[in-house]
Amino acid sequence: MGLSSLCLISVSIYILSTIVLFHLVVANSLQSYNTPTCHDDEISALLQFKQSFVSRKFASDYEGAYLKISSWKSSNSCCSWDGVECDEKTGHVIGLDLSSSCLYGPFGSKNTLFSLVHLQRLNLADNDFNFSQIPTSIRNFPRLRYLNLSYSVFSGHVPSEVSQLSQLSSLDLSQNDFSSNKELLRSLAQNLTGLETLDLSSINISSTVPDTLANLSLLTSLTLNHCGLFGKLPRRIFKLKNLKVLDVRDNRALTGYFPDDYSVSSPDLMSLKLSATNFSINLPSLIERFHSLKELDLSSCNISEGPVPFSLGNLRDLIYLDLSYNKFNGQVPFSLGNLKDFIYLDLSYNKFNGQVPFSLGNLRDLIGLDLSYNKFNGHIPTAMLGNLTQLTYLSLSNNYFHGSVPQSLFNLTNLQTLELDHNSLSGTVEFQKFLNLQKLTDLDLSNNNLELLSESRFLNNATTVLPKFEYLRLGGCNIREFPVFLRSQDVLSWLDLSGNKLQGQVPKWMWNISTETLSYINISHNFLSGFEKTPACGGNFSANLEYLKLGNNSFHGNLPQSYTNGSNLRTIDIGHNNFHGQLPRSLANCASLESLVLSHNKFNDTFPVWLGALLELKILKVDHNVFYGVILKHDKKNLQFPVLRILDLSYNDFSGQFPFEYIFSGNGTTTITHDLEYYLIYSFSSVGYYSITIICKGVERYYPRIPEFIGKLEGIWSLNLSNNILTGRIPSSLSNLSGLESLDLSHNKLSGEIPQQLAQLDSLTKFNVSHNNLTGPVQS
Ligand SMILES: *[C@@H]1O[C@H](CO)[C@@H](O)[C@H](O)[C@H]1NC(C)=O
Ligand SMILES: *[C@@H]1O[C@H](CO)[C@@H](O)[C@H](O)[C@H]1NC(C)=O
Ligand SMILES: *[C@@H]1O[C@H](CO)[C@@H](O)[C@H](O)[C@H]1NC(C)=O
Ligand SMILES: *[C@@H]1O[C@H](CO)[C@@H](O)[C@H](O)[C@H]1NC(C)=O
Ligand SMILES: *[C@@H]1O[C@H](CO)[C@@H](O)[C@H](O)[C@H]1NC(C)=O
Ligand SMILES: *[C@@H]1O[C@H](CO)[C@@H](O)[C@H](O)[C@H]1NC(C)=O
Ligand SMILES: *[C@@H]1O[C@H](CO)[C@@H](O)[C@H](O)[C@H]1NC(C)=O
Ligand SMILES: *[C@@H]1O[C@H](CO)[C@@H](O)[C@H](O)[C@H]1NC(C)=O
Ligand SMILES: *[C@@H]1O[C@H](CO)[C@@H](O)[C@H](O)[C@H]1NC(C)=O
Ligand SMILES: *[C@@H]1O[C@H](CO)[C@@H](O)[C@H](O)[C@H]1NC(C)=O
Ligand SMILES: *[C@@H]1O[C@H](CO)[C@@H](O)[C@H](O)[C@H]1NC(C)=O
Ligand SMILES: *[C@@H]1O[C@H](CO)[C@@H](O)[C@H](O)[C@H]1NC(C)=O
């Protein structure tokens, strides 16, 4: 599954969980009890429990979280304390609900909580227990019926004592850092025969699902999402008469079929989530079988090409449907308009074509609609959209929509995210129209044929209240001037003005907007030539800036000389400009720098050995400049470049020998491999977009997002030293670079034999050593 699909899935989960949380809160506030007298020992146990944690706002994520235990004061009425429930007759504490209570600190097995042996319900969800283990003293609660430790920063093994709590009817250990022995499911299935709800999401169980799990005849909700499960999901699960929720998402190696016999399928199944599994899915028969479905998530299930059956319209209760990342094609059935209670519909990343059926205008409760990455064409249906006034999330990006941006869009006042990018929309858009959409935080209009007009007289006066944007992507919108309304934007984190018609100088105030939050600026592919009043860019970057893209403009002059220690810059791309002179040595202070692209300028300097100490630098492209001289002179110990992946020094005047033995000594290249996945997710995808031009396999290619192959690479994988004046031999140690895909040493003065060990490099697909003075055979 693509990384960006994870993002999408989490968006949808977010929407739904917000709704669920809302219901929980309403339900909780309706409880009220008589107040019996508490037992002294239990009061003191609770007060000591209170002492054992500190309160920290960050320890809980739920917005309405507060410190419940702050109201606990020494008195004999502990039964009235917030979160405490007593038995009306005996006065014993039987329930403790401290979910979302901002508790922070380790949870020890000697905690006085474990003396409350009458507990039947314990909810500690959404706190931060600082990677504590579940204490084995949990066995002190033999009467426990409800246990919820979800999302509370526990870690370690799930202790076997949990499976001794034989009265449990609800167990939720989800969203922690647990691992488990492979027997966890088996022992739970054997002992906890009264289980109705089981949620072990994100526990690394890494086993098959035992057939005995289907012995839990009372099970109504089974959630085993992201557990590393494999093998077949036992078909008997679908014979569970009470089963309403089955969620086994994100277990790639989990297979399964629905039983052949319709009559045995769980008749009341309401929520079925099989996303990112290997389940065999026949959509028409699934619809026929489970007609009570409210939620259906089949995202990324490898469902083969074909249309969505018309019968989908028979699932009258459906409110949530995710079919994204499959190969559905044809038209979206008109019958979807029958499903009037729909809240969330995601059809993205398929091959749907034709027009969007206007029947979708019946789905008046829709909150999220994602039709992106398909082949929809025609106009954006104006009247239909005008009905969908509840929408908070609307993405139509990456389709073939044409015509103008419909005015009815500006009636959707609840919109928070609006993505229309990568279509063929045309005409003008007056930015002041967005004043109607006060909740809008993410707007993407990039890559259409639109002309965005932002007249400052409407947008920059005291009476105007603009939406507060976080992500603003206005690439290729024919913008001619830096929009003045940007000056008042103070929570922007992402700003893309690339590919417009900006010319002249970058105004000083541009470096002064959203200084607390801005992490990405892209003003590449314009006609900019300089910076107002400062000699060059960035004298005053906001301290949190991470991505700076100024490429493909006409900037000239020197780079500014000061980059402070505190710099968070991770990407600097100033390629394809006319910068000249020396590189500022203070770039070495940018300790977070991962990618530095200086290609196609006129920098005249020696090799930046002094960047070798940057522990994160993965991409260094200085090609097409006038760098000169011997790459290694004195300073050998600095030559580390411990995690470099891409080095492009081509088309310069480097001379002398290339210090292979120092730059790629193997130290770095063996230690970085574990880090690779993390790096890709973190720096390429968490922010959604990343693009790079890579010269690979002889072709310069532009990757708008992560190239598929990048995950397989180990160590340096592209080395281009061509078109210099390098001398000396090619060292056989190059063959240690087991991930090397592309090696270009052409047009130099290298001599000696071509090392035969290079033939061991399975991964090498481009190898160019032409125009040197080399000898020896070349194996293909
Ligand atoms: C949480 O764990 C970290 C690392 O073990 C430790 O430094 C810190 O003091 C702990 N916090 C508390 C409140 O105990
Ligand atoms: C556990 O608590 C969390 C947070 O309050 C809640 O979202 C979840 O539904 C609870 N789990 C169960 C099984 O009740
Ligand atoms: C089942 O529960 C009994 C009694 O509580 C306990 O002795 C046994 O170890 C448990 N079995 C498993 C597999 O946890
Ligand atoms: C899960 O556990 C298995 C075996 O215990 C291990 O091989 C695997 O790497 C773990 N997966 C993750 C994501 O930690
Ligand atoms: C549990 O299921 C298995 C089949 O998977 C069956 O043989 C066994 O008798 C069942 N055990 C109980 C206690 O029902
Ligand atoms: C808007 O919703 C109403 C009521 O659901 C429906 O009758 C009408 O056809 C819808 N309009 C469009 C254009 O879909
Ligand atoms: C926008 O909403 C107003 C008031 O509900 C309505 O009169 C108008 O026709 C709508 N405009 C569009 C283009 O749908
Ligand atoms: C300020 O903007 C509003 C529209 O938002 C406009 O009606 C008004 O004329 C503007 N005021 C001035 C002084 O330009
Ligand atoms: C930058 O912002 C500060 C505070 O908002 C303001 O005082 C200063 O004048 C601004 N500078 C420029 C060049 O806009
Ligand atoms: C590069 O700089 C050196 C030393 O400052 C100078 O001699 C040389 O002419 C410059 N080359 C170019 C192409 O500007
Ligand atoms: C490689 O590692 C060895 C042993 O840790 C160390 O002595 C050597 O200096 C390292 N080489 C480089 C270039 O960092
Ligand atoms: C090429 O290398 C040979 C020895 O391998 C040497 O004799 C000859 O001078 C070299 N030619 C050039 C142009 O460097």
Give me the CATH number covering residue 667: 3.80.10
Nearest CA to ligand 4 atom 14: 204
* Token code pair at residue 215: 């012995």
Range of the domain at 324: 281-415
Number of domains in the chain: 2
Among 54, 104, 130, 177, which residue has the most ligand 1 atoms within 8 Å of its CB, making it the best to mutate?
Answer: 130
Please report whether residue 14 resides in a domain: no
The CA 513 to ligand 9 mean position distance, Å, reads: 8
- What H or E segment, with its residue span, contains residue 661? helix 660-663
Give the mean pLDDT of the chain: 83
- pLDDT at residue 667 greater than cutoff 70: no
- pLDDT at residue 708 greater than cutoff 50: no
How many CB atoms are located within 10 Å of the residue 655 CB? 16
C-alpha span between 429 and 437 (Å, rounded): 14
Among the candidates 415, 449, 470, a domain finishes at 415
C-alpha span between 207 and 230 (Å, rounded): 6
* Residue 662 pLDDT grade (very low, low, confident, very high; cuts 50, 70, 90): low
C-alpha span between 104 and 111 (Å, rounded): 14
Please report whether residue 497 resides in a domain: no
C-alpha span between 668 and 465 (Å, rounded): 52
- pLDDT at residue 316 greater than cutoff 60: yes
Please report whether residue 629 resides in a domain: yes
Ligand 5 contact via 212 beta carbon (within 6 Å): yes
Mean pLDDT of 571-582: 91
- pLDDT at residue 674 greater than cutoff 60: no
CATH classification at residue 302:
3.80.10.10
Ligand 9 contact via 351 beta carbon (within 6 Å): no
Asked whether 536 and 560 are in contact (CB, 8 A), the reply is yes
Q: ∠646-647-649 over CA atoms, to 5°?
A: 150
Give tens-digit pLDDT for 597-621.
Answer: 999 999 999 888 888 888 888 788 8
* Token code pair at residue 229: 């499960």
The CA 94 to ligand 2 mean position distance, Å, reads: 18
- pLDDT at residue 676 greater than cutoff 80: no
What pLDDT shows up at residue 734? 73
Nearest C-alpha neighbor of 16 from the set 345, 444, 251: 345
**Residues in contact with ligand 8 (CB, 6 Å cut-off):** 457-458, 461, 463-464
Strand boundaries in 70-176, DSSP class E: 84-86, 93-97, 103-104, 121-123, 146-148, 155-157, 170-172
What pLDDT shows up at residue 196? 98
What pLDDT shows up at residue 639? 59
| Position with higher pLDDT, 370 vs 616 | 370
Please report whether residue 37 resides in a domain: no
Please report whether residue 40 resides in a domain: no
Asked whether 167 and 122 are in contact (CB, 8 A), the reply is no
Ligand 5 contact via 512 beta carbon (within 6 Å): no
How many CB atoms are located within 10 Å of the residue 44 CB? 14
* Residue 37 pLDDT grade (very low, low, confident, very high; cuts 50, 70, 90): confident
Among the candidates 379, 394, 415, a domain finishes at 415
The CA 213 to ligand 5 mean position distance, Å, reads: 9
SS3 of 749, please? strand
Please report whether residue 612 resides in a domain: yes
Among the candidates 361, 387, 415, a domain finishes at 415
Ligand 10 contact via 604 beta carbon (within 6 Å): yes
The CA 610 to ligand 1 mean position distance, Å, reads: 37
C-alpha span between 467 and 673 (Å, rounded): 43
**Residues in contact with ligand 2 (CB, 6 Å cut-off):** 99, 123, 125-126, 148, 150, 170, 172, 197, 199
SS3 of 525, please? coil
Please report whether residue 172 resides in a domain: no
C-alpha span between 245 and 273 (Å, rounded): 8
Nearest CA to ligand 3 atom 12: 187
The CA 438 to ligand 8 mean position distance, Å, reads: 17
Please report whether residue 513 resides in a domain: no
Among 387, 388, 389, 390, which residue has the most ligand 6 atoms within 8 Å of its CB, making it the best to mutate?
Answer: 387
